Chains A and B, each alone.
Chain A
């Protein structure tokens, strides 16, 4: 027994230290290097604009964009709110819809055969081309943008979640059946937790697509939102505003992505194969 204990303990210690080496996400260089590169690019951009006296209409300098953001953060924030809220709504609906379709596909062979080829075919349509139709069908309000966002974002959730549900170890399913588990018990205690890593990878793609969906919707028709601001400012050759809106959009996107990553980290606490 004592022998077995020692061997497993060393067995644990080895991959743990190995993983740290491979991830490399903890070392100071992993923060310094990307930030340094970003700073370098911004510095070159700034110097280029200053030295060659590039007009602000063509390319505003990073410093002037920052100054604009600081001076007009209230206007930018006003536009950022609807974009973020609609993206989040589109994303959440896409996840719910995607998981629901994945459940149907997993549990019904007929549904799988009927749905799956059509879903894939659907993916081949350049979906951005359909965005104006959503305005015709659902009007100029936020519902059309949210619907388009769902439309564009649900597919990766379906694919990833289905893969997760179907990847469950057959042995564990057999064990559950031997224990007289109901389908619902198997779903909640085995299938769903086992599919979580897959679901989260689908969600990470979905959140970026949901934002794209909303921005496209705002490009076509909106009275507010960062997409609207970008189109509006570009039309008036107000490149500085347009750039500032893009920067704020990046921040909003990071925020939403960060929330998904946070949710994943929380889920990992309960459903990870690691002890810590």
Chain B
């Protein structure tokens, strides 16, 4: 009995901003239904940075798109600040793998694009746009067009655009996976700096273990077939984080654990595979065992002939 009020207290203290409960997503195709997400439950607290980590095709992007309201779950409920998500919402900023900037608009106008769409007063947000661009190191590039920027710069513009209307939640769908490794590392540092200045609740989809470990407060690993959440782990590193933490033993150990978890999830398949392999191995051994006498007899036969 005493556990009930305790649980309620716990809930009040940590009412999650984003709550994903038993969410399932199935695509019905002509051949057979595809289970993109078999079952997922995650809570994200206000101000938390949570990564959804997993190999390609594990449904992590699908889950993110459902949180963004761009896809509807087949079953289960997603709530944002207590309200069920049925459609896209204004208090979310989304960043995709591609920067998706309007090619004819300048950097500044691209950053202000959500303000136009949301019909907010442009004049009020112009200073904020300049401030954001300065923060990501793009001061002086306000009048350049996307074609004149590098991939990393474009993605930084996209980050500014996602932050311009000051959304509560930032959803990032493999935002740096199209960038080269060096730029990607720079972007990770830049993103953690941005988030130190503008604290947001972030859900970040990635298939990079290092990236997830470096950026996140919590890493949620998705995998298996059909896909579920197989690990939900707090990252033990202090903030602010700089690149040096990637060289620590602790970091390497966390990455190793994440990697092993992903491999183990495949391992259910790989395990089957290994089981089969072992079976084959045993069979092979047996066959070998039998083969030798066969060979011998064949040799014997040839000798006889």
Physical interaction between A and B = yes
Q: Are A175 and B147 in contact (CB under 8 A)?
A: no
Kindly state whether residue A126 has any CB partner on chain B within 8 Å: no
What is the bound-complex CA distance between A171 and B175, given in angstroms? 13
Chain A min CB distance to B143 (Å): 7
Chain A min CB distance to B189 (Å): 12
Taken residue by residue from 59 to 91, chain B's Cβ proximity to chain A (1 for < 8 Å, 0 otherwise) reads as 000000000111000000000000000011110
Kindly state whether residue A29 has any CB partner on chain B within 8 Å: no
What is the bound-complex CA distance between A89 and B102, given in angstroms? 34
Chain B contacts for A55, CB-based, 8 A: none
What is the bound-complex CA distance between A193 and B109, given in angstroms? 14
Q: Are A11 and B104 in contact (CB under 8 A)?
A: no
**Interface 9-residue window, one of B48-56, B93-101, B257-265:** B93-101
Partner of A274, one of B89, B118, B137, B147: B147
Known contacts A177-B70, A178-B70; A169 and B100 CB within 8 A of each other: yes
Chain B contacts for A181, CB-based, 8 A: 117
Taken residue by residue from 168 to 186, chain A's Cβ proximity to chain B (1 for < 8 Å, 0 otherwise) reads as 0101101111111100010
What is the bound-complex CA distance between A142 and B103, given in angstroms? 43
Kindly state whether residue B144 has any CB partner on chain A within 8 Å: yes
Kindly state whether residue B153 has any CB partner on chain A within 8 Å: yes
Kindly state whether residue A48 has any CB partner on chain B within 8 Å: no
Kindly state whether residue A71 has any CB partner on chain B within 8 Å: no
Chain B contacts for A180, CB-based, 8 A: 87-90, 117-118
Taken residue by residue from 91 to 102, chain A's Cβ proximity to chain B (1 for < 8 Å, 0 otherwise) reads as 000000000000
Kindly state whether residue B280 has any CB partner on chain A within 8 Å: no
Known contacts A8-B153, A274-B145, A275-B145; A179 and B88 CB within 8 A of each other: yes
Known contacts A172-B102, A175-B100, A275-B144; A8 and B88 CB within 8 A of each other: no
Partner of B92, one of A1, A169, A172, A178: A178
What is the bound-complex CA distance between A150 and B45, given in angstroms? 62
State the majority secondary structure of interface residues on B: loop
Chain A min CB distance to B89 (Å): 7
Kindly state whether residue B47 has any CB partner on chain A within 8 Å: no
Q: Which residue of A has the minimal Cβ distance to B148?
A: A12
Kindly state whether residue B149 has any CB partner on chain A within 8 Å: yes
Chain B min CB distance to A212 (Å): 33
Partner of A4, one of B98, B114, B150: B150
What is the bound-complex CA distance between A60 and B143, given in angstroms? 58
Q: Are A275 and B143 in contact (CB under 8 A)?
A: yes
Kindly state whether residue A107 has any CB partner on chain B within 8 Å: no
| Residue total for A at the interface (Cβ-Cβ under 8 A) | 27
Q: Are A175 and B96 in contact (CB under 8 A)?
A: yes
Kindly state whether residue A190 has any CB partner on chain B within 8 Å: yes
Known contacts A4-B152, A171-B100, A177-B88; A273 and B117 CB within 8 A of each other: no
Q: Which residue of B has the minimal Cβ distance to A190?
A: B102
Chain B min CB distance to A8 (Å): 5
Kindly state whether residue B16 has any CB partner on chain A within 8 Å: no
Known contacts A8-B149, A171-B96, A273-B145; A178 and B104 CB within 8 A of each other: no
Chain B min CB distance to A170 (Å): 9
Kindly state whether residue B223 has any CB partner on chain A within 8 Å: no
Chain B contacts for A185, CB-based, 8 A: 117
What is the bound-complex CA distance between A89 and B160, given in angstroms? 46
Chain A contacts for B94, CB-based, 8 A: 175, 178
Chain A contacts for B88, CB-based, 8 A: 177-180
Q: Are A179 and B118 in contact (CB under 8 A)?
A: yes
Q: Are A275 and B148 in contact (CB under 8 A)?
A: yes
What is the bound-complex CA distance between A178 and B144, given in angstroms? 25
**Which residues of chain A in 31-48 are interfacial with respect to chain B, using CB atoms and an 8 Å cutoff?**
none
Q: Are B96 and A176 in contact (CB under 8 A)?
A: no
Kindly state whether residue A118 has any CB partner on chain B within 8 Å: no
8 CB contacts below 8 A, A to B, read: A8-B148, A177-B88, A178-B94, A179-B90, A181-B117, A270-B104, A271-B104, A273-B103
Known contacts A172-B102, A193-B102; 9 further A-B pairs (Cβ under 8 A): A4-B153, A11-B150, A169-B100, A171-B100, A180-B89, A270-B104, A273-B145, A273-B147, A275-B143
